[in-house]
């Protein structure tokens, strides 16, 4: 009987001790700035019980082991585990969980690790784009992106550039990629005689260019992304002291090497031998004659001037840029000029809301001369300045005595009437004025 009483006494002491070790715990959960966090999950370690904080970040747990631990967790914050140590009031500060976005890339409807998208996404920074003077953004991508074919359709100032990301996918349609400039979609026809829309964007305004080669881009932009997507992001303002920057350059362009042609004496001798008759009585008297390459080619200046202003506070940042670009072509009378204004504005309304706007206005003027064949029924000697200059007989005159253009058909009894005077072709100007406004609100 005594042993039974001793056992019951020990059991009572154990139960009373166990009950004494369970306490009520309450407190408040805040972030690193002291702001209350509602909905934080609080779990008793090694148990299935727990609670969540109310709208004010407060919590209350009963029957908690005095020597146990509480686990605090919330989306976007680091998990925190605390030992109770007989405390009945426990306030907790949760730290933000920082995730490196460079480790994940959004592809269509899902995400992939960046290492898995190396072959399908390529990025070019502003410093790489502007290593050489360029009028077209696509020119800055040449030889800098693997697997992307970039072809200069026309060497005329402001001429079009073709970009092939996924090869030639259409016989009748365009194989050009979709261009997205600060969220605005822009298309490029890609024709030889088209004025490239990319030549209307100042390369110095660009922060980065991302090329999406993978077909998953169609999940975001639809069928227009079947040929790939080129994402262009312009520079935005940064908080801090206001910075005023002026950038400019000036240079000249010229033909590196001309094609060696027959002079007038050699040409007359060849004509006599070809037609087995004396067309020219004294070929040696004609001398050197005229190399029309010297008349259609020139030293062409190129210049660029940009004024940029950036700055702002922690809540508002602004970036403003004014640009003037002018490029003469190496063929006489050809020219491309561009004026542009860019304004990017960002403003943080509160902790969870940020608004901004992007504005890009460009006005460009292109003077284009027929440097390529203009139609299928015209030969190179009649439809192209370059072809006409190479085919022009060196013994014919470019100008009359009064300074007017001397048609070849009016010389030597019309013997060379099928040839066009290249100086006359240079007077045929295709003037194109383009004003473009790209604006969005984000």
Domain harbouring 227, CATH code: 2.170.130.10
pTM of the predicted structure, to 2 decimals: 0.68
Q: Does a structural domain hold residue 284?
A: yes
User: Cα angle at 191 between 187 and 197, to 5 degrees?
Assistant: 40
Q: Does a structural domain hold residue 126?
A: yes
Residues 367 and 286 in one domain: yes
- Give the mean model confidence (pLDDT) for residues 187-205: 71
Question: Of residues 227 and 6, which shows the higher confidence score?
Answer: 227
- Which CATH number belongs to the domain containing residue 44 in this structure? 2.60.40.1120
237/346 Cα distance (integer angstroms): 8
Q: Does a structural domain hold residue 323?
A: yes
Residues 58 and 173 in one domain: no
Which residue, chain included where needed, has tokens 């902790």?
351
- Buried/exposed code over 53-81 (b: 16+ C-beta within 10 A; e: otherwise): beeebebebeebbeebbbebebeebeebe
Residues 273 and 230 in one domain: no
Q: Does a structural domain hold residue 100?
A: no
32-64 pLDDT, tens digit each:
888 889 989 999 888 878 888 998 899 998 888
Residues 256 and 389 in one domain: yes
Q: Does a structural domain hold residue 376?
A: yes
Which of 46, 68, 94 is the last residue before a domain boundary? 94
Residues 24 and 89 in one domain: yes
Residues 247 and 396 in one domain: yes
Residues 171 and 195 in one domain: yes
Which of 184, 212, 234 is the last residue before a domain boundary? 234
Residues 309 and 389 in one domain: yes
What pLDDT does 3 receive?
54
In order of 161, 198, 394, the CA distances from 156 in angstroms are 11, 14, 26
What pLDDT does 13 receive?
44
Which structural domain range is residue 28 located in?
2-94
CA-nearest of 323, 334, 325 to 300 is: 334
pLDDT tier, 17 (very low <50, low <70, confident <90, very high otherwise): very low
What pLDDT does 103 receive?
53
Question: Of residues 8 and 105, which shows the higher confidence score?
Answer: 105
Q: Does a structural domain hold residue 106?
A: no
pLDDT tier, 400 (very low <50, low <70, confident <90, very high otherwise): very high
Inform me whether the pLDDT recorded for 116 exceeds 60.
no
CA-nearest of 242, 296, 337, 308 to 426 is: 296
85-109 pLDDT, tens digit each:
889 999 999 988 765 545 555 555 4
Looking at the structure of the chain, the number of domains it has is 3
Which of 179, 209, 234 is the last residue before a domain boundary? 234
In order of 150, 179, 410, the CA distances from 166 in angstroms are 12, 14, 52
What pLDDT does 108 receive?
53
Q: Does a structural domain hold residue 283?
A: yes
Residues 246 and 373 in one domain: yes
- Give the mean model confidence (pLDDT) for residues 76-80: 88
Residues 362 and 255 in one domain: yes
Handedness of CA 268, 269, 270, 271 (dihedral sign): positive
140-180 pLDDT, tens digit each:
888 788 778 888 777 788 777 888 887 776 666 677 888 88
Return the structure tokens found at 311.
């700055």
Residues 198 and 342 in one domain: no
Q: Does a structural domain hold residue 101?
A: no
pLDDT tier, 382 (very low <50, low <70, confident <90, very high otherwise): low
What pLDDT does 255 receive?
93
- A 10 A CB-CB count for 252 gives 12
- Give the mean model confidence (pLDDT) for residues 130-139: 78
What pLDDT does 334 receive?
93
257-307 pLDDT, tens digit each:
999 999 999 999 999 999 998 999 999 999 999 999 999 999 999 999 999
Residues 219 and 70 in one domain: no
Inform me whether the pLDDT recorded for 376 exceeds 50.
no
């Amino acid at each position: 009987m005594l042993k039974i009483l001793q056992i019951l006494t020990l059991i009572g002491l154990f139960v009373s001790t166990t009950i004494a070790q369970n306490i009520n715990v309450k407190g408040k959960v805040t972030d690193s700035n002291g702001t209350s966090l509602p909905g934080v999950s609080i779990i008793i370690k090694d148990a299935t019980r727990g609670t969540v904080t109310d709208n004010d970040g407060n919590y209350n747990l009963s029957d908690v082991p005095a020597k146990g631990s509480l686990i605090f967790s919330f989306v976007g914050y680091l998990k925190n585990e605390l030992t109770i140590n007989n405390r009945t009031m426990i306030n907790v500060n949760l730290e933000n969980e920082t995730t490196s976005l460079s480790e994940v890339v959004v592809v269509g409807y899902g995400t992939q690790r960046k290492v898995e998208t190396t072959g399908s996404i390529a990025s070019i920074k502003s410093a790489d784009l502007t290593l050489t003077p360029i009028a077209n953004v696509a020119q800055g991508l040449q030889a800098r992106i693997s697997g992307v074919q970039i072809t200069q359709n026309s060497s005329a100032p402001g001429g079009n550039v073709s970009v092939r990301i996924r090869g030639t996918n259409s016989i009748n349609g365009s194989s050009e990629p979709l261009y997205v400039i600060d969220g605005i979609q822009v298309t490029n026809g890609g024709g030889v005689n088209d004025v490239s829309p990319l030549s209307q964007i100042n390369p110095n305004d660009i922060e980065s260019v991302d090329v999406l080669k993978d077909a998953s881009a169609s999940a975001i932009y639809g069928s227009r992304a079947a040929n790939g997507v080129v994402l262009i992001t312009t520079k935005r303002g940064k908080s801090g002291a206001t910075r005023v920057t002026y950038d400019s350059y000036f240079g000249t362009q010229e033909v590196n090497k001309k094609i060696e042609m027959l002079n007038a004496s050699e040409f007359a001798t060849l004509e006599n031998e070809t037609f087995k008759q004396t067309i020219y009585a004294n070929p040696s008297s004609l001398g050197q004659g005229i190399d029309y390459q010297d008349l259609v080619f020139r030293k062409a200046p190129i210049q660029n001037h940009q004024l940029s202003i950036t700055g702002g506070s922690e809540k508002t940042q602004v970036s403003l840029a004014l640009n003037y670009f002018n490029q003469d072509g190496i063929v006489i009378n050809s020219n491309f000029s561009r004026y542009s204004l860019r304004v990017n504005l960002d403003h943080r309304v509160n902790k969870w809301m940020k608004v901004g706007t992007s504005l890009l206005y460009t006005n460009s003027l292109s003077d284009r001369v027929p440097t390529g064949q203009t139609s299928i029924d015209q030969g190179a000697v009649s439809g192209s300045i370059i072809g006409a200059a190479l085919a022009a007989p060196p013994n014919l005159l470019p100008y009359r005595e009064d300074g007017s253009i001397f048609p070849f058909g009016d010389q030597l009894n019309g013997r060379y009437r099928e040839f066009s005077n290249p100086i006359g072709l240079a007077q045929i100007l295709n003037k194109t004025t383009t004003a473009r406004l790209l604006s969005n609100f984000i």
